[in-house]
Amino acid sequence: MPAADPISSLVAVLWLFNVVLDTAGQLAFKAAAGNPDAGDGLARWKHMATRPWLWLGITCYVGEFLVWIAFLSLVPLSEGVLLGSINIVAIMIAGRFLFGEKLTRLRVIGILLVTLGVTIVGVAG
């Protein structure tokens, strides 16, 4: 694929923006939702609404919303959702570093398989 093609470079930039915004948004939501002191039900939602994490997550999602619409308008939907699966890999690696979630052997195999699939679609799709 020639790098000079303006449409495909735009697709690549939008794809990258989507990964970054999605990962940041998910991590912010995890920080908002995972607080054990937040209580239950309505009290939990009130607690989350008064802290920045929920709103940071929502801001990332608004940006991702627009980026994703633009991305999908340039690629076939089936290819777009497959390429978007790289978010799984990004979020698991980020979860490992920020929340200490374990990367067991099975998870590493899963990450490698998803990456392989995205690569196949990205290169040959």
Partner 1 sequence: MKRFYLFGFLLLMAFDTLSQVSFKYAGSQALPVAASMAWLARVFGQPWVYGALIGYIGAFFTWMSLLKHAPIGPAFAASHLEVVSVMLLSIWLFDEPLTLPRVLGASAIVAGIVCLGLAESHQHDVDAQPGAAAS
Interface with partner 1 (CB under 8 A): 10, 26-27, 29-30, 33-34, 44, 61, 65-66, 68-74, 76-82, 85, 87-88, 91-92, 95-96, 99, 101-102, 104, 106-107, 109-121, 123-125
Convert 65-85 to b/e letters by CB count within 10 Å (16 or more is b).
Answer: eebbeebbeebeeeebebbbe
Q: Report in angstroms how near the CB of residue 100 gets to partner 1 at its nearest.
A: 11
| Sign (positive or negative) of CA dihedral 94, 18, 68, 79 | negative
**Least distance to partner 1 from the beta carbon of 16, Å?**
15
CB of 38 within 8 A of CB of 44?
yes
Measured from the CB atom, is 21 or 26 closer to partner 1?
26
Q: How far is the CB of 54 from partner 1 (least distance, A)?
A: 9
Whichever of 21 and 118 has its CB closer to partner 1, that residue is: 118
User: Longest C-alpha distance within the chain, in Å?
Assistant: 54
Q: How far is the CB of 10 from partner 1 (least distance, A)?
A: 7
Q: Looking at beta carbons only, is 20 or 114 nearer to partner 1?
A: 114
